[in-house]
Amino acid sequence: MYVRKYILLLGLMVISVKVSAESGEALWMRYLKLPSDLQSLYIPYAQVYFEEGSSTIEVAKQELAQAFVGLTGVDIKFQKKPFKCSLLIGKNVNQFWNIPDIEKNLKKCANEGFVIRSVKRNGVRRIIVTANTDAGILYGTFALIRLMQTGCPLDSLNIIERPKYKFRLLNHWDNLDGTVERGYAGRSIWWNRKETLDALKHQYLTYARANASIGINGTVLNNVNANPKVLDQEYIEKFARFADLLRPYNIKVFMSINFSSPVIIGGLPSSDPLREDVQQWWNQKVKEIYEAIPDFGGFLVKANSEGQPGPQDYGRSHADGANMLARALEPYGGIVMWRAFVYSPSGDDRAKQAYDEFVPLDGQFRDNVIIQVKNGPIDFQPREPFSPLFGAMEKTPLMIEFQITQEYLGFSDHLVYLAPLQKECLDSDTYVKNEGSTVAIVTNGTLFKHQYSAIAGVANIGRDINWTGHHFAQANWYAFGRLAWNHNLKPEDIAREWIKMTFTHDSVFVESVLDIMMRSREAVVNYMTPMGLHHLMGWDHHYGPAPWTDIEGARPDWLPRYYHNASEEGIGFNRSKSGSNAVSQYAEPLCSMFNNPKTCPQNLLLWFHHLPWDYRLSSGLTLWQELCYHYYRGVDEVKLMQKKWDRLRGRIDDERFEHVQHKLKVQVREAKWWRDACVLYFQTFSKMPIPYELERPEHDLDELMNLKFDMKNHN
Pick one of 3.30.70.2190, 3.40.50.2300, 3.30.420.40, 3.90.1330.10 as the CATH number of 526-573+610-705: 3.90.1330.10
Class of domain 172-468: alpha beta
Let me know how long the chain is.
715
Q: If pLDDT is split at 50, 70 and 90, which confidence band does 41 have?
A: very high
AA identity, residue 13: M
- Whose CA is closest to 443, among 434, 430, 459? 430
Among 192-201, 484-493, 613-622, 692-701, name the one with the lowest average pLDDT.
692-701
Q: Which of 379, 394, 492, 655 is catalytic?
A: 379
The answer to whether 679 and 422 are in contact (CB under 8 A) is no
Grade residue 121 by pLDDT with cuts at 50, 70 and 90. Answer: confident
Average pLDDT of the segment spanning 243-258: 98
Mean pLDDT of the chain: 94
Which residues does 389 contact at the CB level (< 8 Å), separation at least 6? 340, 354, 355, 358, 359, 371, 373, 377, 398
Q: For residue 16, what pLDDT is reported?
A: 32
Mean pLDDT of 16-28: 76
Q: What is the mean pLDDT of residues 556-573?
A: 95
Sign for the CA dihedral angle at 293, 296, 302, 304 comes to positive
Distance of alpha carbon 545 from alpha carbon 410, whole angstroms:
11
User: Could you give the residue ranges of the DSSP H alpha helices within 260-317?
Assistant: 261-264, 276-292
Strand partners, 13: 9
Q: What pLDDT does residue 97 have?
A: 82
Q: Give the whole-angstrom CA distance, residue 13 versus residue 17.
A: 13
336 with 298: CB under 8 angstroms? yes
Grouping H, G, I as helix, E, B as strand and the rest as coil, residue 273 is coil
- pLDDT in the model for residue 87: 97
pLDDT score at 346: 75
The pLDDT of 172-181, averaged and rounded, is 98
Half-sphere exposure of 69 (CA within 13 A, CB side): 9
pTM beyond 0.75, yes or no:
yes
pLDDT tens figures, 326-381:
999 999 999 999 999 998 877 789 999 999 999 999 999 999 999 999 999 999 99
The beta-strand segments (E) located in 55-123 are 77-78, 87-89, 114-121
Q: 3-class SS at 102?
A: helix
Confidence of residue 713 (pLDDT cuts 50, 70, 90): low
Mean pLDDT for 614-633 is 97
The predicted pLDDT at position 88 comes to: 97
Q: Would you list the domain boundaries of the chain?
A: 31-161, 172-468, 526-573+610-705
**Distance (Å, rounded) from C-alpha 404 to C-alpha 470?**
12
User: What gap in Å lies between CA 635 and CA 668, rounded to an integer?
Assistant: 7
Separation CA 313–CA 317 (nearest Å): 9
Tell me if 411 sits within 8 A of 469, measured CB to CB. yes
Whether residue 224 contacts residue 456, with contact meaning beta carbons closer than 8 Å, is answered with no
Q: Which of 306, 367, 569, 695 is catalytic?
A: 306
Q: Which of 22, 174, 401, 407 is catalytic?
A: 407
- Nearest C-alpha neighbor of 8 from the set 16, 653, 654: 16
The runs of H, that is alpha helices, within 458-490 are 474-485
Query: Who contacts 187 (Cβ-Cβ below 8 Å, separation ≥6)?
Result: 178, 179, 180, 462, 463
252-272, pLDDT tens digit by residue? 999 999 999 999 999 999 999
Residue 339 and residue 318: Cα distance in Å, rounded? 10
- How sure is the predictor about 445, in pLDDT bands with cuts at 50, 70 and 90? very high
User: What's the pLDDT score for residue 6?
Assistant: 26
pLDDT over 70 at 714, yes or no? no
DSSP 595-627: HSTTTS-GGGHHHH--B-TTPBPTTS-BHHHHH
Q: Is pLDDT at 238 greater than 80 in this prediction?
A: yes
306 is a catalytic site residue: yes
The fraction of the chain above a pLDDT of 90, given in percent, is: 90
Distance CA 116, CA 162 (A): 12
Check whether domain 31-161 has CATH 3.40.190.10, yes or no: no
From 269, 333, 350, 342, select the one nearest 299 (Cα to Cα). 333
Task: Dihedral sign for Cα 330, 332, 335, 336, please.
Answer: negative
pLDDT at residue 606, as a whole number? 98
Q: What is the DSSP letter of 544?
A: S
Q: Which residues lie closer than 8 Å to 706 by C-beta, 6 or more apart?
A: none
DSSP 613-670: TTPBPTTS-BHHHHHHHHHHHHHHHHHHHHHHHHTTTTSS-HHHHHHHHHHHHHHHHH
Average pLDDT over residues 120-135: 91
The pLDDT of residue 4 is 29
- Look at residue 20 in the predicted model and tell me its pLDDT: 65
Distance CA 277, CA 313 (A): 17
Name the 3-class secondary structure at 316: coil
Q: Say which residues have a Cβ less than 8 Å from residue 618's Cβ, sequence separation at least 6.
A: 598, 602
Q: Binning pLDDT at 50, 70 and 90, where does residue 122 land?
A: confident
pLDDT at site 711: 63
Provide the pLDDT for residue 5. 31
d(CA 310, CA 259): 6
| Percentage, residues of the chain above pLDDT 70 | 97
292-306 mean pLDDT: 97
Can you give the pLDDT at residue 19? 53
Closest to 535 measured CA to CA, from 409, 421, 677:
409
**Range 382-404 average pLDDT:** 98
State the average pLDDT over residues 74-100. Answer: 92
In angstroms, rounded to a whole number, what is the distance separating the alpha carbons of residues 4 and 17? 6
Range with the poorest average pLDDT among 83-92, 93-102, 465-474, 497-506:
93-102
Q: How big is the chain by its Cα radius of gyration, in Å? A: 26
Residues 6+ apart with CB under 8 A from 715: 184, 186, 411, 412, 469
Q: 37: burial class by Cβ within 10 Å (0-12, 13-18, 19+)?
A: exposed
